[in-house]
Every structure is written in C-alpha cells, then in structure tokens.
Structure 1
Amino acid sequence: MTARVQSSAGAEIVGCPDCGTRQRLPAPRRATVTRCVSCDGTLERTHGRSLSAALACSLATLLFLIPANLSLFLRTDALGVSRSSHLASAAGAMLADGWPWLALIVLLFVVVFPLVRFGLLTAVLGFLEFGRVEPWMGRAFRWSNRLETWAMPDVFLLGLAVAYARLAASIAVRVGPGAMAFIAAGVLALVVRATLDKAAVWERIAPDTAPADTAEAIECQDCDLLLPAHHEGRTCPRCAAPVRRRKPQSISRTIALTLAALLLYIPANIYPLATLPINYQPTKYTVLEGVIDLVQAGLWDLAILVFCASFLIPFLKLVGLGWCVWSVLSRSNRHLVAKARTYRVVEEIGRWSMVDPFVIGAFVPVMNYNALIYGRAEAASVPFTAVVVLTIISAKTFDPRLMWDAARRPQ
C-alpha cells in the first residue's frame, strides 16, 4: 500500500513505502501491477482485488471461526480410551503443564486475534458495501490491518496438518467438526489477504487530498495518507495514528530485538522442542529431529515445509535484518534494490515460523493418557516462540526507507 494524492495534471503522486521515492502514476492506467522506479516494490496491484469478494470471504471466515471455537476439534483413541479437544484447549493444556507464556501466545494468535481482526474487517467492509462511512471506521480498519500479521488461522492450519500426520503414525486420530470449520476459516483467511485492496478501502473511508507542497509532505505509516509537513507529531485525520516522517528509534529497536532473537536462536535449536509418543514410547525431539521424523515417515512435503518454516526462515530473517541494519549504519549505496526485496520477504514470511509451536498446541490436549502415551512442550518451545515473535516485531520496527536516506547522505 502506498501514499497517493491526485495532482492537478491528472496523475496520482505516490510515495513508495519501501524507499520513500515520490513518483507520478499517469491516468488512466491499464497495468494491473505498478512497480516503484527505484526499489522495484509493488506500488499498486488491482488484478484479482475486489472489496465485495473480500467482504464475502471475511464474513465467511468470521462465521466459520464460531463453530471452530465451540465444536469438537480433535479426538484420539488409544488402549480403549479416548481424548478430545477444542480449539482453546491448547492454551489450557499448556497452562496446566507450566508454560503460561506459550499458552498466552497460542490463545491470542489462534483464538482471540482472528475473531477481532475479521470482526473489525467485516464491519468496515460491510458499512462500505452499503455506502456508509462512520467516524470509527478509520481506527477499526487500522487495527484490522495491524492484526493481519498476528491473527494466524492460516499458519495454525499448517501446524494442524503436521500434528495430524505425526499423531496418525502412532494412534487413531479423528478430525472433529470444529477442525473442519477451522480449515475452512484458514483457507478463506488466505483468500481475504489476496483479494483485499487496502488502498481502495482507505480511499472510500476518506479520499486522499493533495498537500500544497508534495515534495515536503509526509505520509501516515498506517493508512499512507500524504499530509503537509506540519502534521508531523499529530494524529492522522483518517486513521487517528500518530504521524511521523520515519519510524521512531528504528535502528536501535531493531538491533536490540534482533540480537535478543539471535541469542535465543541457539537454545531454541539445541534443546528439545516437544515430547511425542512414537510407537507408544515418549520421544523428545528438537526442531531438526522433528524434520527427520517426518522424512522417515515418508512425509517429504511436510518435512520440507517444517524445515523451511522452523529452521531456515528464522535464520534467514536474522541474516536479512542484520544486512538491512548494517546498510543504514554503514551508509551503503550498494545493492539497495536487493536489500529492499530482502526486507519485504522477511516481513512477509516471518509469521510462518510459528508452525512448530502450533503443532505442539494441536497435539498436547489429546495426548494425555499415561506415563508412556503423552505429549507436551519442552524447554526449547519458549525460546523458539520468542525468536519468532521478536523477529516479527523487529521487522515491524525497522524502516526500510532509512537505507535509502543513509545512502543519500555523504560519507
């Protein structure tokens, strides 16, 4: 999404969110994808975007989340005894095992945030569909967008698939109606991300207006509204977010969060992540041992996905963020386009590293049988989850425009 205003010459002036370059988009535009002339980032994408389709999918996701939370989720059978779970059972089981922070993370990311995000999004799109604009809609859409990263039904869906494959190798497991509804919600959440045109929503909430001096104008970092320079430090008139030219303390915050994640990355991969009964024997496994178990079970596709999401992506995020931070500190003007692309990839894929904690959350509630048949989180689960959360936040705190600002300053 990019900041844009209509100029007197009939062309839209846009500000790239990745490099800050101001450029004109002549009208009319027939291209479905428009890219930045400086960093090659996507400025506009209209192909496959529809507010009506996004509304329908968002409403359907919200409706499916209700039975997903209320109905039977998973059921296992072993030795003539059965265990069943609901979606929120993962948080309860982890809390009972002595992992309160892990329980809180799973509860928020899987239960609370998806309901809040799609509730807000459905309300905003629904009002717009009927041609109504209310004062609260800017704030509501802003919070819905902020929760896009943290509401993870799609990521939990992948974790559920891995958990089912691991459980089915040892005991009988059945998918309940709650899980079926959640699968539908996870798929529809992906469709919402693909069809939602955020710029069109913001334009309908409050149309863009052209400042007198677009060269010195600043853009709101939440809704990308271009504003006069004197608005810095005030609240945005469209979404009510604080308006700043650049993210405050971006480099110091990113360095602190990245270093903390780097230190936690070591115990997250050395210590056992979870215990799972393999052939009725409790077996502890690390991140890489979990991948090996999937390979030995012949589940190559899931093994590759888990290896990429749980081991490779966290490492690449740390390297990528370090490269971008170093670019600012060294005022480098080399490979700026590659660095901008790296940052976009890091920001987009970071949330998928939550697969392994969600795998644990899916199987723990239905694996409490006896001393030989049980499943639980282990020592690495907390630092691993912390690595994922810290790298997501560090990507949010980093301002990629600083790389281009630093490259323009003299050495």
Structure 2
Amino acid sequence: MSDRFHKRLWRNAVSFSRSQEPHASIHAVEGLRECPTCGLFQHVPRLKPGHLAECLRCGCQLARRRRTSLIGAPAAFCITSAALYVTLLISSLMTLNVYGRENTVSLMSGPIELGHQGYGAIGVLVALVTILMPGVIIGLMAAILFGASRPQMPDWTPRLLTWYDRLRGWSMVEVYVLGVLVAYTKLVDLALVILQPGVYLLGGLMLSMAAVDSTFDAERIWRSRDIRPQLDDHQGHLLDVAHLDARNGVIPPVENMLSCHACNLVMAFDHTVPQEQDMGDCPRCGQILRRRKPQSLASATCLLVASVVFYLPANLLPVMTYTKVGHGAPSTIISGVIELWQAGMIPLSLLVLFASITVPVLKIVALTIMIISTRLGGRWQLRHLAKLYRLVVIIGRWSMIDVFMISILVAVVHFGFLANVTADPGMVCFALVVILTIFAAELFDPRGMWDAAGLNGAVAGPAADTREPETPSPSDPVPHLPSSDPTDMEPGRA
C-alpha cells in the first residue's frame, strides 16, 4: 500500500514535466499467456466451454472456460452463501452437557475465550479467517457480479476482483468444518454432545462457497474489460497502448514482455524489461506491472527460517490442557494423534497427522529445496518442483485444523473444576508456523527456478487444450522450448 502511495506522489510531482512530444508505445499482446509457475510464454487457443489450457512445460492450468452462465450460476450460489452466512452468525454450533450442566457455543465463542485466556492474537486470527473473511469474500463476489452485469463495467470491479483473488485463500470455512469434526470426536467420549443448527449451516456454507468458485469464470470478466489507451509508467511518461495479436505470428522478444499478476494481460515493451522494476500500472486492471515478484528469494528465505525456529517448540510444547475433576495433563499435537488412534478413530487420526505434522514438514522441506535450486541455478526435477509448489500453496492452510479445534474446545469445555480445557503456548508456535509458511509460499516466485536455469528464453507453441487436467510426463533435463507457429497445432488440441 505504501509502495503505491509513494508512486502516486512521484507521478503527481513529475506530471508538470510531461511534454507534447510523441508518446512511446507498448503493446497489449493477445493470444499469449505466461505460466505463473514456470514463466514460459505460450500461445493459448480459444477455449470451448468445459475446456482448459495447460502449460506445455510444467502442467499448470493457464485458463479454463466454464460451462455455466457468466452471472446467473455464481450469483445464485453467492446469494445462498450470504443467507447461510448471516444465519450462521446468529446460530449455535454445539451444546455440551456434563453431569447436567450445559454450555452452548457459537462461532464467536472460541475467539472470545482464547482472548480471556491470554491468547488474544490467536483469537483474532481465528475470528479473521473463520468469521470476517468469509463475509468479506461473499461481499466481494456479490459486488463483482453486480459490476460485471452492468452494460459498462465500473472501474472498481477489476480492483475488487484482484482483492478477491488475494483474499480467497484466507477464508477457511472448509478447514474450520474439519476442526469442528475433530473437536466433536474428542468430546463424544467425555460428555453428551448435541449438535446445533450452526454445524449444518457451516457445512452448507462450505459447499455453497465452493460452488461459487467452481462456476465463476474470471477469464470472461477480464476479457470484457476494456484496455485503457494509455499507460502511466510512474516516471512522468504516458505510453500509448497498441494491440498485437500473437496468433498472427508476430511475437515480441521474451525479454521485452511481462504478464500482469492479476489479470494475466501480456504487455510487450520496446526494450528489455528488468526483473523486479515497477513498469507502471496495468491498462486493464490497474495493478503494478512487474516481471517478477520483488525480493522474492530473500523474503521467502527469511520467513522460512522463522517458521523452522517455531516448528520445534510447536511440536514439543503442549498445545492444550484438559482437566477433569481437578486432574489432567497437557497434550501435544503428537499425543492428540495417538489418542485418536487408540480410540479407534484411525481415519481421523491419519487426517490430523497429515494436516498437523506431515503438511508443515512438507512445506518447509519443499520450500527449502526450491530456494536452494533457485540459488544454485540447477535444472534438477524442475517439473516436479513446479507441481510441488502448487501443492504447497493449496494444502498450506489445512494445518489450521488443530488451532480451530483448540478454539472450539476451550469455549465448550468450560465448567471450572468439573471439566476444563485451556490453551497452551504450543498452539501459538504452531499457528505461527502455519502462517509463516503460507506467506513464504506466497512470496516465493517459482519462475525464478526456471530463470536461474536459463530456460525462459523462447515462446512455446500452443498450450494443451483438454477437457480434464492431464499430468505431463516428467523428464530431465527440461528442454528449451523453441518458438512455433500458433496455427501449427498437434492433433487433438484445439
């Protein structure tokens, strides 16, 4: 935010120096797409409904055409999500009966109780990702669909769509549902547990929000957005934006092109584009144009080291203490998995083991290998590392299951001397590991691995157009893909 603020000050300060000389020109390139994982520029065919385009080199999904209507289907599920969300806020989740004494909790009970126990920061985190963010995401989607349905799309619609993409992963309703399930299995052996309507509303909200994402076609909304005729390069110059269709065979040099990280518009300049320099605002969505994420390697390394520091205490220190009639013992993450296994809940114990122990280790090891590969400029298993990076981004937030479970238990098992659950410092360390690794994965730019290996020097042929994602067969070293004619497509590709 401060970066954009200072650039606006600079733009206003130098605006008086703009002359009436002919403007330099850049090109908005149609028919090309840069892979966000490996950085390969390649031709993307016009997709039919139900088809998707995959990167020829690493298999990353580049574009997808939905079968559903642009506005109707996602709007219906968005309205459903809004109704479920509002009802959930005023509903109870579950009631615990211990020797005739009852305690009923809602979605807000866990964060409030964590604050009372001295863990206010974790309470705010839980409330942010389970209460605030789902509402923000639903509101953003409603506004985006409203703007996209207008004859002339308002200027605020692209900004909201960009924020939706940034914040969607921080809405963790589906992870919280699993946290409720784990908490329920721990409580059924202790007392009588009565599930309230909020649990079913929570499950419905999870499904409806997933349906919104599966029917929403951001690509079609971006294509319906007009491209501004001029671009401000933040250095006192206005650049005329011309249009270039790569499908006609005219392809600028790769080193002169970059892709907008928000709307995927490919821009071609008349000079070599620096890796991390601010090249102005995107003429379609208004986001800052950069070829690569700034300070990606250093930022990811610092966050990864910090997560490693907190990982050992997160597993060695107790995360919660359960006392019954004055007697109890602290519990670690590993001991919680063992308890579920001994109780005969083997599938659930394996789920918690995977989400709370395997996933953090996988993220730390995977990011370490990627950072080392980037620094050394090696070509070892780059396809597999690209797939691993996408997996790390997808599964990173599922480790919050334990944090959500503890927030539920401390709220519902609150009977003083009779039965009580309190949070312990291990929970704070574990939450920090999860958040730090999420940020490390977001700040790391996987395209840097391919840049360091010297493999991003050409434009590839048409991306694969398939009905379902296909996994490319890995082979090493990665070949240097030559430029090809976009009309020369292989059989079976659109």
Please say whether Structure 1 and Structure 2 have the same fold, judged by a TM-score greater than 0.5. yes
Aligned residue in 1 for 2:265: 225
CA contact (8 A) 1:272 1:284 kept: yes
**Counterpart for residue 165 of structure 1:** 185
Give the CA deviation at 1:33.
3.0
The one of 382, 388, 393 equivalent to 1:336 is 382
Shift, 1:372, TM fit: 4.1
Aligned residues: 403
Rounded Cα–Cα distance in structure 2 between residues aligned with 1:328 and 1:93? 44
User: Which piece of structure 1 moves more, 378-387 or 267-276?
Assistant: 267-276
For the structure 1 residues 287 and 278, does the alpha-carbon distance in structure 2 shift closer, same or farther, using more than 3 Å as the test? farther
Q: 1:131 to 1:279 in 2, by over 3 A?
A: farther
Larger Rg: 2
Call closer, same or farther: CA 1:6–1:329 in 2, change over 3 Å. Answer: closer
Deviates more, 1:355-364 or 1:25-34: 25-34
Alpha-carbon separation, structure 1, partners of 2:315 and 2:362: 15
Cα-Cα RMSD:
2.5
- DSSP 3-state at the match of 2:92: coil
- The letter for the 2-side match of 1:218 is L
Would you say the 8 A contact 2:66–2:216 is kept in 1? no
- Displacement, 1:193? 3.1
Instruction: Show the counterpart of 2:448.
Output: 402
Supply the distance in 2 between the matched residues of 1:296 and 1:277 (Cα, whole angstroms).
Answer: 19
Q: Larger relative CO (CA 8 A, sep 6+): 1 or 2?
A: 2
Aligned counterpart in structure 2 of residue 260 of structure 1, from 306, 310, 325: 306
Where does the alignment leave 5 or more consecutive residues of structure 2 unmatched? 1-26, 229-241, 246-251, 458-494
- Deviation of 1:53 (Å): 2.6
Tell me what 1:24 maps to.
Answer: 43
Match of 2:281 in 1: 235
Name which of structure 1's ranges 125-134 and 351-360 shifts more when overlaid on structure 2: 125-134
Pick one of 348, 358, 361 that aligns with 1:302: 348
Contact 1:5 1:13 in 2 (8 A): no
Aligned-residue identity in percent: 31
Equivalent pair of 1:258/1:318 in contact (CA under 8 Å): yes
Q: Does the residue aligned with 1:73 lie in a helix, a strand or coil?
A: strand
Q: Secondary structure at the match of 1:374?
A: strand
Q: Give deviations 1:315-353, integer Å, cap 9, x for gaps.
A: 000011111111110000121111111111011110111
1:78 — aligned with what? 98
Whether the aligned pair in 2 keeps the contact of 1:211 and 1:226 (CA below 8 Å) is: no
**Higher mean Cα deviation, 271-280 or 121-130?**
271-280
Aligned to 1:14: 33
Determine the C-alpha separation between the residues in 1 that align with 2:144 and 2:122. Answer: 32
SS at match of 1:298: coil
Matches of 1:315 and 1:191, distance apart in 2: 31
Displacement, 1:23?
1.0
Instruction: Tell me which moved more, 200-209 or 21-30.
Output: 200-209
CA 177–223 in structure 1, closer or farther in 2 if over 3 Å, else same: same
**TM-score, structure 2 length as denominator?**
0.76
Q: Distance in 1 between matches of 2:47 and 2:159?
A: 31
CA deviation string 1:205-245 (max 9, x = no partner): 44698458473221111222222448943222333322211
Q: 1:31 to 1:129 in 2, by over 3 A?
A: closer
Q: Distance in 2 between matches of 1:198 and 1:168?
A: 43
TM-superposed CA distance for 1:132, in Å, is: 5.1
Which residue is equivalent to 2:56? 37
Higher-helix-fraction structure: 1
| Cα distance per residue 1:103-131 (max 9 Å; x no partner) | 11001011111100111012212332455
- Residue number in structure 2 paired with 1:386: 432
d(CA) in 1 for partners of 2:77, 2:324: 39
The 3-state SS of whatever aligns with 1:244 is coil
Show the 5 A alignment for 1:145-156: 145-156=165-176
Unaligned runs of 5+ in 1: none
Kindly indicate whether the alpha-carbon contact (under 8 Å) linking 1:157 and 1:183 is maintained by their aligned counterparts in 2. Answer: yes
Q: State the match for 1:370 in structure 2.
A: 416
